[in-house]
Amino acid sequence: MKTMNDAAQRQLPATIPQTGQPIAGNPRRRRDLEQDSYAATALSDVIDRSLHATWARFTFGLSPAALGNAYLDWATHLAASPGKQAQLAAKAVRKSVRLAHHASQCVLQGGMIEPCIEPLPQDRRFIDETWRRWPYNFYYQSFLLHQQWWHNATTSVRGVTGQHEKVVEFVSRQILDMASPSNFLLTNPEVLQQTMRQGGMNLLRGMQNFLEDWERVVNGKKPVGAEQFEVGNNLAVTPGKVVYRNRLIELIQYAPATDRTHPEPILIVPAWIMKFYILDLSQHNSLVRYLTTQGFTVFMISWKNPDPEDRDLGMDDYRKLGIMAALEAITTITRGARVHAVGYCLGGTLLSIAAAAMARDGDERIGSMTLLAAQTDFTEAGELTLFINESQLAFLDDMMWEQGFLDSKQMAGAFQLLRSQDLIWSRGLHDYLMGERQPMIDMMAWNADATRMPYRMHSEYLRRLFLENSLAEGRYEVDGKPIALTDIRVPLFCVGATHDHVAPWRSVFKIHLLTDTEITFLLTGGGHNAGIVSEPGRPRRSYQVLTSPHDHAYLDPDAWIAAAKRNEGSWWPEWVAWLAARSGEAAAPPPIGSPEAGYPALGDAPGLYVFQE
C-alpha cells in the first residue's frame, strides 16, 4: 500500500488545476488529491488484475500477450527474410513431389512400400503395421511431412529471440498434434479395425468413458479407479508418528524396521507441489520403507495444502517453517546427530538454498546431501521455461492474486502440454476411440491427489529462480545476505532421469558447475516420478553412476555419459551403499519423538495435512 501511495503522490501536480494555486498552501486540497489519485490507481490496478484473472480461466493460465509477442516476433522476422521464405517454398515443393511419388507407388504397386519419411524415435503413434496400408500410409506420411515443414518454418529464422522461437515451435507442434490422423476414427486404421471387430461397441464404451470422465471433472471428483487407493490404507502405510507440527508442515518420524540403525538420520524434503507419499506409495515401491529396512532412521516433511489465508507465505517461510524447523526437531530427538538431507524436485532446490545459508553461517547439522531430480540452475530447465517471462509471470501473478494460490488444475494444464502426446492424445485414443480403460495404479492415484501453492511463494520461486536465475548466479539472499552454493562442502549425491520433462537431467547436471565438493551423479531411466520410484526388482531398469572428487576436472554431460559405468537394476541399493559409507556404526535406534524436549508423538503417520483437499 505504501508503495502505491508513494507512486501516486509522485504523480500529483504542483498546482491546483485551473486556479494555478500552489498545493503546498492548501493541505486539505493536497490531501484530497492524494486520496483521489491513490483511489484511482488502486481501482485501475484491481480492474486490470481482475480482467487478467478472468482471462486466465479460459487460457489455462497462459498469457495471450506472451504468446502474441512470440508469434509477432517470428512473423515479423520471417516477413523480412525473403531468403528463408524461398527456402521454405522450395522445401514445400520437394516434400509435395516426394509425397506424390510415394502415393503413386502405393496405388500402382498395391502393397506396403517403404515410407518416404520416418517418425521421430519417440513418436509411437504410427508403429502398427496397419499404417502401412493405403490410404492410411498417405495420411500419416502427409502429416509427418507437414510437421517437418512447420518445424523448419518456425526455427532458424534470423533475429527471432531464442525463447520466442521455442514458444512458436512448441505451440505450433501442439496445434499440429491435434490434427494427427491417429486422433480421428476415419483416419486411424487401428480404431477402424477395432470397430469392425467389435461391431462398434468400442465407440459406445468410449462414449461412456468420456461422459464419466467429464462428469468427474465438472464435479471435482478423482479419476475412475482412484477410489481403490486410499491414503493410510494401501498408500502411505509405513508405520510412524507425527512428532512436530506447525502452520506449514508435519514432521513424520518412521518406526525402525531393524534392531539397530545408523546414528545419522535421514530427512526427506519433498516438493510442496506434490503430496509426500510419492516416496511412500505401496508396500513394494515405498522408498521410505526400503530405507528403514536398510537400517536408517527416516524423517519426512508433509507440507500443508495451502488455503487462501496462506497467500503471503514466501520462499523464506518454507525454508524456516519447513527445513529449519525440521532440522531443529530431528537433531533434538537424535541428540545432535548430523543429518543426511534429501530433497526431491522443488524440495531439493529449497534444500540447496537452506544448505548454502547454513554453510555460510557455520551451521554443520547437515552431514550429506542428496538431490533427486532437483535443479539449482534454471537456464536449461526444459520446456517449462517456455512459460516463464515477464509477461507470463505478471499474468500468473494476477491469477494467483485473485484466488490467493495456484490451483492444481492450473498447474496440471502446463505439465500435460509438455507431454501432450502421452497425457492427452494417446489417452483420448485409448479411452475414447478404442474404448479401453487404462488400469489405475498407485502412482496415477497419487498424481490425482491435488495440491496448491501460495501466491507469494510461487511468484517468488518463478521470478527469483526461473526468470532471474538468482541462486546459480549468487544473487539469492537469505536473511538479507547473498548465498553461494560453493559454500556447500558436504558430499552430494544427485539423481537425474533420462526422460524427465520437469527437471531435465542436463539441467540437474549443472550442479557440477556450482559447487566445490565431491559429487556422485547418477542417471537413471524413466521420468520425473517413475525414475525416482524405481524399486529393486522392477524390470527394464538401469543406471549410470560416476563420482567426481572436489578437485576433479569438469566433465560435460556427453563426456560423463561416455565415462560413467552402466549398471542393471534399481539405483536404490547404490544410493544406500553411498549413505552407509558416510554413516557411523549401527546402534540402538533413537526414540520416537522427545516429549521432554517438546516433541511428543502427535498422532500416527501419515498425519493430518496429507488428507487436506
Residue 117 lies in a domain: yes
Question: What is the pairing mode between strands 603-604 and 339-344?
Answer: unpaired
What are the residues whose beta carbons fall under 8 Å from the beta carbon of 43, sequence distance 6 or more?
none
Domain match, 154 and 280 both: no
> Is the same domain home to 77 and 190?
yes
Query: Which residue, of 59, 82, 101, is where some domain finishes?
Result: 59
Q: Are residues 23 and 79 in the same domain?
A: no
In a domain? residue 224: no
**pTM across the whole model:** 0.86
User: Among 14, 40, 59, where does a domain finish?
Assistant: 59
Distance CA(385)–CA(149), nearest Å, equals 24
C-alpha span between 269 and 353 (Å, rounded) = 12
Kind and range of the H or E run holding 301? strand 298-303
Q: What is the mean pLDDT of residues 430-438?
A: 90
Q: Which residue matches cell numbers 502411505?
A: 236
- CATH number of 464's domain: 3.40.50.1820
Please determine, for residue 406, whether its predicted confidence score (pLDDT) is greater than 80: no
Same domain, 81 and 104: yes
Residues contacting 146, CB < 8 A, separation 6+: 176
* Residues forming a β-bridge with 268: 300, 342
Same domain flag for 130 and 248: no
Q: Is 421 helix (H, G, I), strand (E, B) or coil?
A: helix
CA distances from 590 to 193, 294, 309, 438, 587 (A): 63, 15, 37, 44, 9
Q: How far apart are CA 320 and CA 325, in angstroms?
A: 6
DSSP 341-404: EEEETHHHHHHHHHHHHHHHTT---EEEEEEES--S--TT-GGGGGG-SHHHHHHHHHHHHHHS
Kindly state the cell numbers that stand for 92: 514445400
Positions marked active-site = 345
Residues 464 and 336 in one domain: yes
Residues 26 and 140 reside in one and the same domain: no
Instruction: Please report where in the chains the cell 462428469 appears, as a residue.
Output: 215
Structural domain containing residue 138: 67-197
User: 10 Å Cβ neighbour count for 368?
Assistant: 22
pLDDT above 80 (res 42):
no
Of 419-433, 449-463, 524-538, highest mean pLDDT = 524-538
Q: What backbone torsions phi and psi does residue 493 show, to the nearest 5 degrees?
A: -125, 115
Q: Among 231-235, 328-332, 407-411, where is mean pLDDT lowest?
A: 407-411
* Structural domain ending residue among the three candidates 135, 168, 197: 197
- The verdict on residue 397 lying in a domain is no
Sequence-separated (6 or more) residues with CB below 8 Å from residue 489: 359, 516, 517
Residues 181, 39 within the same domain: no
Q: Within a domain: residue 395?
A: no
As given in the structure block, the three cell numbers for residue 553 are: 576436472
Q: Residue 15 has what pLDDT?
A: 44
φ and ψ of 579, to 5 deg = -65, -45
Same domain flag for 159 and 266: no
Name the residue among 166, 99, 106 with its Cα closest to residue 388: 166
Within a domain: 209: no
Residues 96 and 35 in one domain: no
pLDDT tens-place string over residues 123-149 = 888 999 999 888 999 999 999 999 999
pLDDT digits (tens, 9 = 90+) for 305-334: 998 889 899 999 999 999 999 999 999 999
- Same domain flag for 152 and 286: no
The total number of structural domains in the chain stands at 3
Whether 160 contacts 77, CB under 8 Å: yes
Of 180, 195, 172, which Cα lies nearest the Cα of 131?
Answer: 180
